[in-house]
């Protein structure tokens, strides 16, 4: 039997794939590849990454198909792609939804299971955005928070279309630090200094223009017009240890115990002393969501 022909690329998919490939190749020398990027960072990720604003969660519930929104508790099913340690998963469970957290990193997935494994409606899968291993037509909503830049866009779109129930949608979500804030400007300068080529590759996925955060691959993923964005501003408080965890949870930042990591630790302490008030550092975020159904 001859091999099946490769799916024809959608408009914009080739250029988006090239940016995606450049990002993944920047991590290619790491043992385990992209799936292992956060293996040593899982604890820091859980300790310092912010949760999501209540307004987003209400908006997601309102976007459920009518047949799903009217179901009883823990009936509507959300597939959370690239769920990490379960930040968004936990918030969705609090909304009374069933959630399957799909996460390829064993360490991140273990944290999610440790936190949420006893909660009704929770399940975890070792799949990826491109191959979840879940049954077709199982999802009333698919979410991907802080994860889209890791996807192979064409394969992820096809997998989402396979999973989605009729009229169900995909929500691509980011918690963006407000770059115009002086604290964030200083932190970004450190990330640029210590993040190297990996930092620059990731920045190529974000081409911000005011409130219209155009990001590499969105048009290719939706295979048509990009849905209008919605955003909500919120804040997150950190102590000195939390700031360190926030920085070292970044995929492009060197390990804590490396020579560069030790220098960065000192520089982060200086940043905290400069900007903190009453022992707390306020991190300003804008939560951004683009919600729609990809075209086949």
The predicted structure's pLDDT at residue 273: 97
Structure confidence by residue, pLDDT tens digits, 65-85: 866 655 554 589 999 999 998
Structure confidence by residue, pLDDT tens digits, 93-128: 999 999 999 999 998 899 999 999 999 999 999 999
Q: What mean pLDDT is predicted for residues 262-282?
A: 97
Give, as one character, the DSSP assignment of residue 204: T
pTM: 0.80
Q: What percentage of the chain has pLDDT greater than the value 90?
A: 60
Structure confidence by residue, pLDDT tens digits, 165-181: 999 999 999 998 888 88
Higher pLDDT, 136 or 22: 136
Q: Strand, coil or helix: what is 93?
A: helix
Whole-angstrom distance, CA of residue 80 vs CA of residue 86 = 9
Strand locations in 49-203, DSSP E?
77-81, 98-102, 122-125, 139-145, 164-177
Whole-angstrom distance, CA of residue 96 vs CA of residue 93 = 5
């Amino acid at each position: 039997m001859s091999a099946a022909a490769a799916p024809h690329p959608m408009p914009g998919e080739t250029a988006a794939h090239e940016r995606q490939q450049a990002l993944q190749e920047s991590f290619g020398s790491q043992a385990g590849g992209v799936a292992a990027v956060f293996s040593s960072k899982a604890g820091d990720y859980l300790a310092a990454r912010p949760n999501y604003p209540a307004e987003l969660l209400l908006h997601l519930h309102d976007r459920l198909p009518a047949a799903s929104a009217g179901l009883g508790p823990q009936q509507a099913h959300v597939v959370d792609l690239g769920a990490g340690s379960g930040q968004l998963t936990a918030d969705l469970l609090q909304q009374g939804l069933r959630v399957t957290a799909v996460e390829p990193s064993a360490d991140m997935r273990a944290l999610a299971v440790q936190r949420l494994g006893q909660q009704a409606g929770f399940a975890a899968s070792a799949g990826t955005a491109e191959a979840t291993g879940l049954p077709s037509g199982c999802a009333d909503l698919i979410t991907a928070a802080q994860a889209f830049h890791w996807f192979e866009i064409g394969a992820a779109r096809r997998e989402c279309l396979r999973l989605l129930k009729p009229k169900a949608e995909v929500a691509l979500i980011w918690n963006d630090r407000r770059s115009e804030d002086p604290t964030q400007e200083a932190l970004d300068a450190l990330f640029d200094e210590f993040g190297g080529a990996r930092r620059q590759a990731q920045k190529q996925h974000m081409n911000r223009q005011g409130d219209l955060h155009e990001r590499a691959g969105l048009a290719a993923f939706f295979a048509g017009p990009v849905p209008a964005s919605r955003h909500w501003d919120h804040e997150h408080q950190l102590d000195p240890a939390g700031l360190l965890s926030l920085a070292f949870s970044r995929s492009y930042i060197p390990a804590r115990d490396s020579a560069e990591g030790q220098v960065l630790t000192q520089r982060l302490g200086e940043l905290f002393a400069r900007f903190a008030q009453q022992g707390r550092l306020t991190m300003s975020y804008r939560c951004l969501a683009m919600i729609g159904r990809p075209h086949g």
